[in-house]
Structure 1
Amino acid sequence: MTARTSRPQVKSFLDRDTETWSYVVYDHAGGSAAVVDAVLNFDAPSGRTSTGGADEIIEFVRAEKLTVEWILETHAHADHLAAAPYIRDQLGGKIAIGDHIREVQTIFRDVFNLEKEFLVDGSQFDHLFHDGDTFTIGELEGRVIYSPGHTPADMAWLIGDALFVGDTLFMPDVGSARCDFPGGDACKLYQSVKNLLELPEETRMFMCHDYPPEGKREHQCETTVGEQRRSNIHLRDGINEDEFVKMRTERDATLGMPRLIIPSIQVNIRAGEMPPVEDNGVVYLKVPINILR
């Protein structure tokens, strides 16, 4: 039986346009890997996609001679298009997300009035994980932690001592994710974060996004459970649920929709695939008028 290791190697990649962090998590050079939250570049004014960011990930994986076993999505992102199918085509692996993606698919099937063939059973993904499931990446063991609030479908991936939190927490000086998307819930986010912060203080936490306070620091992606408990401006120890929900609700009311939410959601609930080609050979994304707030 292969010996397990509790400290994975983590290589981070920043997409500056969307301020998104993607990761390659692996046991050792020449070993096994997972790719987390890979970004497909998208130019909204022209409607054109490109793969520069994903290609950097692919280049690293090949240079390290890694075998990709999993392509993990923490949730159906509203701020960037997922590059999961492109990564799979180039490197192999299974695209996976949490089983509650079916709730998000149901919500947005109606928002976008998707084609009748669109299924809301998560079958677009290669694998759906359930809360508490375990999985392996070579010598690494992972555990799935259901973390709703930002959306109904968020999952955190605990791989060895590394926790990939998606859009639950940001760096301590930035705080927490918004909860006003359809199906979001600030009370649930509070409970989800408190659950994550019960992990050992030395657990490494890797963010999906970083929005640095202007002029104060560069983008960062890594902190610890202990640092979040001590310093997170929204969810440190001592802030109760009522205080958090009041702050989050009032703050969310001032926020506009993410720049790429309309294309992102339509693609990401399909595991990163585009909508079906229409009879003229062109793929289209819909823009619902006066629906999203």
Structure 2
Amino acid sequence: MEIERGFVRIAEGQMHLRRTAGSEDGRPPLVLLHPSPGSSIQLVPLMEALVAAGAPPLIALDTLGNGDSAAPAPETPDIAYFADAALRALDALGIARFHLFGALTGARMACEMAVMAPDRIGQLILEGMGEFDAELQALLLDRYAPEMAPHDYGYQLLWAFNFVRDQATHFPYFLRDPAHRTMSRAVPDADELHMRAVEVLKALRTYHKSYRAAFTYPGRARLAAVTVPTSLLAAQGNADAIADQLSYADGMANGQVVECGSSVADKAATLAGLIR
């Protein structure tokens, strides 16, 4: 089934989206929210795998200030603003009820959408949900997502490539020592690095806004306010990740931790199973 691109107009301008073409079948759609940086293009492999797994209609939104979507209106928007914008986009699309998946920044947005509109969401699925302690939060706000603009000598081109590449090897990416090395994922290949860098460059002046909103989001407190059935994904067999997500689920009215394999097909099968 083809994944088509389109736009929906909200107050700020046009929000870009990807959706499965001709897939309306009476089931509530699954809405997907991407991590930072980038856009819904990162979710295309997952969408393709979800189609193969028999998932309902799919809609993936570009967060305001990312990809091909309009810039956010406030100078310093918070996650509640981004969540409200996504809900307004779904209103404009005529979608009253839906399932919802979000990863990292997208998980924070999805969590807040569930607090704002619990009657509209069937199943909430979150990947990479959490919050940062005060020390790390301050460091991330100071260094992780700098404000950028085109440079006379093209500095932004080199910066964008290294930004997305280094994220695959260290967290935070700018602390390039063994203590901060991430060994659980491969460095993306040349095509994916190019795609990710291009998506950052497309939203160069605004990509940082959703990042900074995510860094300050009080995940634990907001999860405690969620009432819809919620699944927190954790890497299969990773005891630390499972324990971390259990600490969040334990504070929820209707939360569970679901272990998920590392491949796109594994994730698609997990998501499809949760929303059947």
Q: TM-score, normalised by structure 2?
A: 0.35
Say which structure is richer in helix: 2
Say which structure is richer in strand: 1
Higher relative contact order (CA 8 A, sep 6+): 2
